[in-house]
Amino acid sequence: MTDLIEVIAMTIEEYRFSAYKPSAYPVWHKRKVPFNPSIRVPQGYSRRVKEIREMDSRMSGFILGEGDYMAFFNEALASSIHYSTKIEGNPLDHSEVKRLTRRSTAGQDLVEKDSAHLEVFNHLYAFLSVIRGGMAFPWSREMILNLHYLMFNGVIKDAGIYRKERSSIQTETGFETFIAAPPEHIDGEMSSLLEWLNHSAPAYDPIAAATVFFHEFESIHPFENGNGRIGRFLLRAYLQKYFSNAHLCKIEERILRDTELYYELLGWTDENRDYSVLIDFVSSAVLEGYREAEKYFAERDILGKGLDDTSLRIIFRARQKGGDFTVKEANNWVQGVGYGTVRRRLNELVEGGLLVARGNTRGRRYRFADPLQDVLSRFGETVEYGDLLMSR
């Protein structure tokens, strides 16, 4: 029954956007310097964004065991990378991308050196960089070029260089469906787009602003190859700045489940200079992604699993503190409880994966178990990706 409901929902979603096709092909990119778009949002958009924000906030309050958290974290990353690279021809299946993701987040080195695995690895480390706080605003020309280089060096030629030739999107038979900005206009148009992003976009809701930026980036098509992949990544990076749990949502899987519709909506937006339908499409994907993630987190939230009051108070204070603490400190958090009881509760929380312990019995220290921070710490020790985004 659940599968049938999902199929019906997908059919309704496809029908909802089915009227938005370009009237004629090829669609030509329209030069916009300065970039000063007129943006209107679809009906019901405010309610949708309100629900997304509420789910983002609730998810930050859930506490999951390390196994449950990492299972979803790795699945979400693998889904985002697989669907974004698959549409551009990466031959690795979903299970292989997930295997590489699990190995990498566990701190294991890349073994396979072919371009397909390297592309996934580069995408993964770029995602981790954004989650860790890389790509701070303002965004610049140099940052975009460096990001392209880091994501595609060893994968495609001319990584990190704006294209110098005419570019178009074609069908398998060679029929042109879209013609991008001429190469002599790329630098000026990208500068104008980034100027808008850094100074005007913050006045709009982040999902709307990210969608408009994404569309214009794709329309300019600044690189010879990799435009779709880096454009979808930049959409993600922008959302992550405003929604702390965006990395846990399988947005690409939903945006790209009907590739023909995806390209038609991009073309229709170019032809009509109306972003509302694409904003509707992207915000629907974000909403679905958040609903799936929040459901998973709510069902596995440790705080709803019947922990005793002493354990709950320890967990709340440990999470609030962030760093190491001793049995004595924990005992002060739960006054009126015996020292031996506190020690037992601490050890039970360690066994349950909610606390991490180190040291011997007398000098033992505890801290809140945060799987994401552990992953990001290992990542930071091996690659200073955020610094690399700024210079090469």
pLDDT digits (tens, 9 = 90+) for 10-59: 555 666 888 899 999 999 999 999 999 999 999 999 999 999 999 999 99
Regarding predicted confidence, which is higher, 382 or 374? 374
Give the Cα separation of 308 and 306 in Å (integer).
6
| pTM for the structure as a whole | 0.90
Q: Where are the beta strands (DSSP E) in 142-300?
A: 168-170, 176-179
Contacts of 286 (CB under 8 A, 6+ apart): 52, 207, 239, 246, 249, 251
What pLDDT score was predicted for residue 120? 96
Q: Which two tokens stand for residue 338?
A: 């015996």
Side chain identity at residue 159, one-letter code: A
Q: Which CATH architecture has domain 2-300?
A: Orthogonal Bundle (1.10)
Taken in order 38, 42, 44, 46, the sign of the CA dihedral is negative
pLDDT digits (tens, 9 = 90+) for 52-99: 999 999 999 999 988 899 999 999 999 999 999 999 999 999 999 999
CB-neighbour burial class of residue 233 (10 A; exposed 0-12, middle 13-18, buried 19+): buried
Mean pLDDT of the 263-280 span: 96
Question: Is residue 383 predicted with pLDDT exceeding 70?
Answer: no
Question: Given pLDDT bands bounded at 50, 70 and 90, which one contains residue 112?
Answer: confident
The domain spans of the chain are: 2-300, 307-377
Query: Regarding the domain delimited by 307-377, which CATH topology (the fold level of the hierarchy) does it fall under?
Result: Arc Repressor Mutant, subunit A (1.10.10)
Mean pLDDT of the 338-353 span: 91
Question: Given pLDDT bands bounded at 50, 70 and 90, which one contains residue 385?
Answer: very low
Which alpha helices (DSSP H) does 200-247 contain, by range?
Answer: 206-220, 227-242
